[in-house]
Amino acid sequence: MNRRRLNRARDAAGPLLISIIAWAVLVYLVLPLAVVIAISFTTTEYLAFPPVGFTLNWYQRFLADPSYVDAILLSGRLAFGSTLIGFLLGVPAALVLKRGRLPGAQMLGNLFLSPLILPAIIIGVGVLQISGTLGFARSFEAMLVGHVVIILPYIVRTTLASLEGFDTSLEEAAQDLGASGFSTFFLVTLPLIKPGIIAGCLFGLIMSWIDVEVSIFNTVIAQSPIPVKVFNYVQYSVDPMIAAVSAGTIYIALILVLLLDRLVGLDKVAGQQK
Amino acid sequence: MPLIAIDRVTKSYGSLQVLKGVSLDIEEGEFVALLGPSGCGKTTLLRAIAGFVDIDTGTIAIGGHSMANEPPNRRPVNMVFQNYALFPHLTVRDNVAFGPRRNGVDKAGIAAIVDPALETVGMAAYADRLPAQLSGGQQQRVALARAIANKPKVLLLDEPLGALDLKLRKRMQMELKHLHQKLGITFLFVTHDQEEALVMADRIVVMQDGGIAQIGTGEDIYARPANRYVADFIGEANLLPLEASADGALRIVGETELLPYLAPDGASAPTLLIRPEEIRIGAAPDGGVGLSGTLTDRVFIGNATRLFVRTASGQSIVIQQAGAGPNDALRTGAQVRIGWAREAARVLTG
Amino acid sequence: MHINRFWAAILLGIPLIYLVVFFITPLGMVVVDSFSNREGELTLENYALVLGDSYYWRVLGYTFWIALVTCVATLILGYPLAYYMSLIERRRAVRRLCFILILMPLFTSNIVRSFGWIVLLGREGLVNETLMWLGIVDRPLRLLSTEIAIIIGMIYVMLPFMVLAIASVLQNMNGALREAARDLGATAFSTFLKVTLPLSAPGIVAGTLIVFTLSISSYVTPRIMSGGRSVVSSMLIYDQFMLVFNPYLGSAIAVVLLVASFALIVAYTLLLERRPGRRASP
């Protein structure tokens, strides 16, 4: 009797211990972000944690500074632009790779995914070289083509994954009922792989939004995306205004996470991450 | 002119030939079953008719028109898929309306088709649900409604009841039979379940290894199977190997008694088919066949009792008797005589 | 759905051309540059410099050392979290909260995340305050611009990748297998050791590969956390390109980094494949 109770206690202790570690790790994951948000409200002129008082002063100051607003708008244009191009290139490519019955489709698929494992800094350097050769070095366009390279794998991979589990008898049923190949795609295939495409595009959008490594080689100081601007600033000084700017990007991350959860479901997305 | 004319159709996947020159005519309004074990080519043949399999040689014509260059969406057939293939993102109503919409039916026309179709299968109350909110049997009905909404000349059914439990399957068998009578269109269905084929089909096509072993009504095939394979596949069969004596008389391998059957011409290894319910315990009837053996097992299966008898030569023979009572004095290990009337057994050559 | 050859050629051809022009060609140019000098001649002098100077070797070694430590630490921290959210926690809402908390850092720029650590690790930061309050130290430690800071920052950045890689495998694991192990008399711990852990190996392999490759090439986090001293290879590459304006040497360092990391990854997968019963492919 005692022994059984002991065994049961031991069986319960394991999960309890794991749960405690898990929550400690979760706290570790949230802490730096929470700290950045907290100090963005401080009334002091220097970084103070815990914050002293509460003010939205720093947010006002950064929103009043056109160089920060421009940087955010530039990042937004980059993120949406590269995601749109990535979508237009990546989704058709994934469709052909999965359905085209091509010899070597597997190898070509790996080529599309390879920017994922290549150091982003080398992609940044490479884009600097080619854009120099083609005559648009250090420009919005140079960053755009670089961002498309780094986000294309996300879109291709999630599209491939959603086609992987696709029940082809649904497409046969559509054709059997009179749908042409074209309308089968738009009425059956596309609606069913849409969550995968949305997940891939949202990931792509984020990867562009937070990128430093590719942008930093392909921009000039006067025209920096927001992460590069923060990066250049933080290396030399830190103050509550930069905390407010950083906190702003965290709010956007939260919105995107919630959007992803709403549109696709986070547990489904997680399996397809990197 | 038959509604479906299949002529010497072949199909190979690499070196594997799955259809070896199949020819088959199906008349308008028939209910035909393609019956066989997995890998016999029945599903490939059905999918070839639907247009999902490109055949290598031969022709398939429906209503006198060759289907050679017709894609699946332009063929006058509709299919009930094995796992129903209901569009998960569309409601029941939109699933059923999918076909008519593709054919350009207007809004009023759609309602005039969809509602009766759902009514027919008893699913009118579920029109606004999504497939995931339905049970297996309900999904089955929606798949049926969707397939008949296009008013096809032929309804193709690929193992339509395979995913249902036994009780539901039996009920759906009768419902499909009634639906067929009501609609009057041709049904062609694929199954590996001989009972399903016997219950529903007017005509059964038994397929064997990429070809057709026998075509006939259920009674035909049960009573007069063309070969051992068919006899074994439809119903239960005792198949006893035979050998011919010097003067041409037959006997069961290992037994001494000669049988009152003649060796067919050119058969190297004939087999005797005797159904379990045709055998009785006791002396053989006049002119019949009698054997001796030992009762090894008796099993009560509800409406009948099965007795297993091992003959002197080591053959195991199954006997089925109605009810529980007869011969309940017999214990396993008892020596018994068994026998059957001359015309109850058949000599098979294939 | 069948795609005919004409459309297949167009739909796949354009993305392929894009990759060739903006991904493969640039990489080729980096390789060519690494064999060139300012006069445009082909030369091995860049490699002679990189491979002949023990400084570059030390930096390369340190890069791999940081990546290795990060890999091991994220595995040790990440596995319990992945296990908890996949197999212990049953409430959907809590699982969802876990996902949000893991994805939030991932969706935030490395620079913002490192910024948070600068505040936490400062002389009067939360970490020092806590250590002093607990009485572990009596005066603030210098944490910023140390190896500890770099490693804490790297672990922080890489942890979500490891957790997600392992969780995706654990989530799809057949629960009956663990029940069968318990039914056959295994304790909870030996069930984990003999069933759960081996079956989650693909997730561990995928996670360690991702974390290792990303760590080797990480630039922002080491730059910020080290206080700017060039300590890892990616920082050397940046400096050569953007500060010293010697893209030829920078390219050579990049190629060496690439080849070395590729060699390590191949060695790792070969090692895993040689063990019976293990599938190394992520």
Note the pLDDT of residue C3: 67
Q: Structurally, how many domains does chain C consist of?
A: 1
Q: What is the pLDDT of residues C119-148, one digit of tens each?
A: 888 877 888 888 888 888 888 888 888 888
Minimum mean pLDDT among A57-71, A219-233, B78-92, C174-188: which range? Answer: C174-188
Q: What is the pLDDT of residues A84-99, one digit of tens each?
A: 999 999 999 999 998 8
Which residues 166-205 of A have a C-beta within 8 angstroms of B? 167, 169-170, 172-181, 183, 187-188, 191-192
Question: Is A149 in contact with C19 (Cβ distance < 8 A)?
Answer: yes
Helices (H) and strands (E) in chain B, counts: 8, 20
A34 within a domain of the structure (yes/no): no
pLDDT higher at C26 or B247: C26
Which one-letter DSSP state was computed for residue C218?
A: -
- Tell me, yes or no, whether B240 and B215 share the same domain: no
Q: What is the CATH number of the domain that holds A173?
A: 1.10.3720.10
- Residue A274 pLDDT class (50, 70, 90 cuts): very low
Task: Evaluate whether B80 touches B160 at the Cβ level (below 8 Å).
Answer: yes
C118 within a domain of the structure (yes/no): yes
Q: Range of C258's domain?
A: 54-274
Note the pLDDT of residue B148: 92
Q: What is the pLDDT of residues B152-195, one digit of tens each?
A: 999 999 998 887 888 888 999 999 999 999 999 999 999 999 99
Q: Where a domain ends, among B190, B210, B230?
A: B230
pLDDT exceeds 50 at position A81: yes
Distance CA B189, CA A1 (A): 61
Distance CA C169, CA C172 (A): 5
Note the pLDDT of residue C279: 44
User: Which of the other chains make 3 or more beta carbon contacts under 8 angstroms with chain A?
Assistant: B, C
pLDDT above 90: percentage of residues in chain B: 57
The closest alpha carbon to A117, from C266, B271, B118, belongs to C266
Note the pLDDT of residue A142: 94
Question: Is A130 in contact with C26 (Cβ distance < 8 A)?
Answer: yes
Distance CA A228, CA C197 (A): 41
- Residue A234 pLDDT class (50, 70, 90 cuts): confident
Q: Which residues contact C154 (CB under 8 A, 6 or more apart)?
A: C66, C69, C70, C215, C218, C221, C222, C225
Q: Please provide the DSSP assignment of A109-154 as one string.
A: HHHHHGGGTS-HHHHHHHHHHHHHHHT--SSHHHHHHHHHHHHHHH
Q: Where a domain ends, among B202, B230, B258?
A: B230
Residue A53: exposure state from Cβ atoms within 10 A (0-12, 13-18, ≥19): exposed
Report yes or no: B85 at the A interface, CB cutoff 8 Å: yes
pLDDT exceeds 80 at position B327: no
Q: Which two tokens stand for residue C112?
A: 């913002």
Q: Range of B81's domain?
A: 4-230
- Tell me, yes or no, whether B301 and B223 share the same domain: no
Note the pLDDT of residue A273: 44
Q: What is the pLDDT of residues A117-137, one digit of tens each?
A: 888 888 999 999 899 999 998
Beta-strand relationship, B31-35 and B203-208: parallel
Which one-letter DSSP state was computed for residue C88?
A: I
Q: Range of A93's domain?
A: 66-236
Q: Which residues contact A95 (CB under 8 A, 6 or more apart)?
A: A159, A163, C3, C11
Note the pLDDT of residue C280: 39
- Tell me, yes or no, whether B87 and B156 share the same domain: yes
Q: What is the pLDDT of residues C80-101, one digit of tens each?
A: 999 999 888 888 889 999 999 9
Question: Is C84 in contact with A102 (Cβ distance < 8 A)?
Answer: no
pLDDT exceeds 60 at position B20: yes
Predicted model pTM: 0.81
Q: Which residues of A touch B103 (CB under 8 A)?
A: 178
> What average pLDDT score do residues C13-21 get?
94
- Number of cross-chain residue pairs from A and C with Cβ atoms under 8 Å apart: 295
- Tell me, yes or no, whether B123 and B224 share the same domain: yes
- Tell me, yes or no, whether B259 and B340 share the same domain: yes
> What average pLDDT score do residues B73-77 get?
91
Distance from CA of A186 to the nearest CA of B (A): 13
C47 within a domain of the structure (yes/no): no
Note the pLDDT of residue A264: 81
A229 within a domain of the structure (yes/no): yes
Q: Which residues of A touch B82 (CB under 8 A)?
A: 169
Note the pLDDT of residue C127: 84
- Tell me, yes or no, whether B156 and B29 share the same domain: yes
Question: Is B99 in contact with A172 (Cβ distance < 8 A)?
Answer: no
Least CB-CB distance to C113: which of A32, A99, A108? A32
Note the pLDDT of residue A3: 63
Q: Structurally, how many domains does chain A consist of?
A: 1
- Residue A21 pLDDT class (50, 70, 90 cuts): very high
Q: Please provide the DSSP assignment of B43-89 as one string.
A: HHHHHHHHTSS--SEEEEEETTEE-TT--GGGSSEEEE-TT----TT
The distance from CA A122 to its chain's CA centroid, rounded to whole angstroms, is 19
Note the pLDDT of residue A46: 78
- Tell me, yes or no, whether B69 and B173 share the same domain: yes
Note the pLDDT of residue B18: 94
Report yes or no: A242 at the C interface, CB cutoff 8 Å: yes
pLDDT above 90: percentage of residues in chain C: 38
Place of tokens 């058969």: B267
Distance from CA of A144 to the nearest CA of C (A): 11
The closest alpha carbon to B149, from B186, B111, B187, B189, belongs to B111
Distance from CA of A175 to the nearest CA of B (A): 5
A199 within a domain of the structure (yes/no): yes
Report yes or no: B311 at the A interface, CB cutoff 8 Å: no
Q: Structurally, how many domains does chain B consist of?
A: 2
Report ipTM for this prediction: 0.86
C40 within a domain of the structure (yes/no): no
